[in-house]
Amino acid sequence: MNQNPVVAAHTLEINASRQFTPWLFEQNLSLAFTTYQAGKLLFIGLQPNGRLSVFERTFERCMGLYAQGSSLYMSSLYQIWRFENTLEPGELHNNYDAVYLPQVSYVTGDLDIHDIVLSHSSFQGERSHSHGRSESLIFVNTLFSCLATISHTHSFVPLWQPPFITKLAAEDRCHLNGLALRDGQPRYVTAVSQSDAAEGWRDKRANGGCVIDVESKEIVLEGLSMPHSPRWYKDKLWLLNSGTGEFGFVDLEQGVFEPVTFCPGYMRGCAFHGDFAIVGISQPRHNKTFIGLPLDEKLQQKNVEPRCGLLVVDLRSGDIVHSLRIEGVVLELYDVVALPGIRRPMAIGFKSDEIRRMVRVG
């Protein structure tokens, strides 16, 4: 039986599995995730009474998320945002122990930005300075089939493109989508195909997906079905083989994908904490992008309906041990991040006067 249902006024219903809230408490953890379909950034934490806390803000087509320290980065329809947690450790604001304030916005235009990361040192010679450290904000520019960074004078600066892409064009040729850091550097990307023609990836959805080593430009894995969210964690490259519903890792020596568990939905978004992975699942849209994938047949075989929510996978056993089910206006998720050490996060929006009063002295 589900516990702690949280229902918002506009028919957003969130139900946690029985042990989800105790798990959040034990892990001293909260979560943030995006839904571009509903245009929401949501924070999941715990209220002082131990019940689920859900906080949301509206951003059009919000997708990629990246958390580091007190900063939270997020891509939206034509901007990349940086939020900063304004609270000191131990400080509370209306019983929230983290308040994310929109601090900076970079206007990129509509590039269909997917994953975003903060590289800990220069990549391809590009640098930006944040808090005195040398770091680069790097994102997957899906429209132009490349990795890019922000510019003070242009929409973006291209940094890298797959070896099979012969021209930077606003054509979404291969549907480049996922980006994994390794040792602080962009190292692996996922693409739905190796197409070099406008929207050519749509013909290769079922088995054209690949993983590319950014450093060597080698294709390290082929034959995937709409892969997403590559992440380097505990000396393994994990990813979501979304078109088959399988969460697993890449055997880089053998060049094969090793499935760990089946997830009943279209997977996007993956974060790690301790011995756990937090995976986002969505209800597949009934259009040509999603119809005819191996996932359809697997759902039928297992006699299960696809759903939207978060799944917690125990990496030691491969079992799905906890879940968060989302129903109502939210049908699809894109990205998820873990916020360790934070019990109950919130963010400041633009519609109330609160943002006028959030003044910090450096």
Amino acid at 150: I
Residue 131's pLDDT is what?
Answer: 40
Closest C-alpha among 108, 131, 110 to residue 120: 131
Q: Region 72-99: what's the mean pLDDT?
A: 96
For residue 327, CA distances in Å to 10, 14, 276, 330 come to: 11, 6, 24, 6
pLDDT band with cut points at 50, 70 and 90 for residue 10? low
With H, G, I as helix, E, B as strand and everything else as coil, classify residue 263: coil
pLDDT of residue 357: 66
- CA nearest neighbour of 32 among 290, 320, 307, 310: 310
Least confident of 166-175, 233-242, 281-290: 281-290
CA Rg value for the chain: 20
Q: How confident is the model at residue 90 (pLDDT cuts 50, 70, 90)?
A: very high
Dihedral angle, C-alpha 208, 33, 234, 313, nearest 10 °: -90
Q: Which domains does the chain have, with CATH numbers?
A: 3-294+323-349 (2.120.10.30)
* pLDDT for 3: 52
HSE at residue 127, side-chain half, CA atoms within 13 A, is: 8
Q: What DSSP state is assigned to residue 166?
A: -
CA 362 centroid distance within chain: 31
Instruction: Answer whether 307's CB lies under 8 Å from 61's CB.
Output: no
pLDDT band at 127 (very low <50, low <70, confident <90, very high): very low
Task: Assign 1 a pLDDT band (cuts: 50, 70, 90).
Answer: very low
The string of DSSP codes covering 127-180 is: -EEETTEEEEEEEEETTTTEEEE--SSSS-EEEE--TT--S--SS-SS-EEEEE
Q: Residue 208 above 50 pLDDT?
A: yes
Say if residue 104 is exposed, middle or buried (CB neighbours under 10 Å; 0-12, 13-18, 19+): middle
pLDDT of residue 108: 97
pLDDT digits (tens, 9 = 90+) for 226-272: 999 999 999 999 999 999 999 999 999 999 999 999 999 999 999 99
Measured in whole angstroms, how far is the alpha carbon of residue 218 from the centre of its chain?
A: 24
Mean pLDDT rounded to a whole number for the chain: 91
Instruction: Say whether 215 sits in a helix, a strand or coil.
Output: coil
What's the whole-number mean pLDDT along residues 175-200?
A: 97
What's the confidence (pLDDT) of residue 104?
95
Strands 52-58 and 65-68 come out as unpaired
| CB-CB contact of 98 with 341 (8 Å) | no
- pLDDT tens digit string along 32-58? 999 999 999 999 999 999 999 999 999
Q: Which stretches of 13-85 are DSSP H helices? A: 20-27
* Percent of the chain clearing pLDDT 70 (strictly above): 89
Q: Which of 92-96, 287-291, 328-332 has the weakest average pLDDT? A: 287-291
Do β-strands 98-107 and 79-85 pair in parallel, antiparallel, or remain unpaired?
Answer: antiparallel
pLDDT at residue 290, as a whole number:
62
The pLDDT, as a whole number, for residue 135 is: 78
3-state helix, strand, coil in the chain (%, to 5): 5, 50, 45
Whether pLDDT at 360 is above 90: no
DSSP string for residues in 5-25: EEE-TTSEEEEE-TTHHHHHH
Q: Does residue 125 carry a pLDDT above 50? A: no
pLDDT higher than threshold 50 for residue 7: no
Torsion of CA 229, 7, 329, 240, to 10 degrees: 20
8 A C-beta contact, residue 65 and residue 336:
yes
Closest CA to 338 of 310, 317, 316: 310
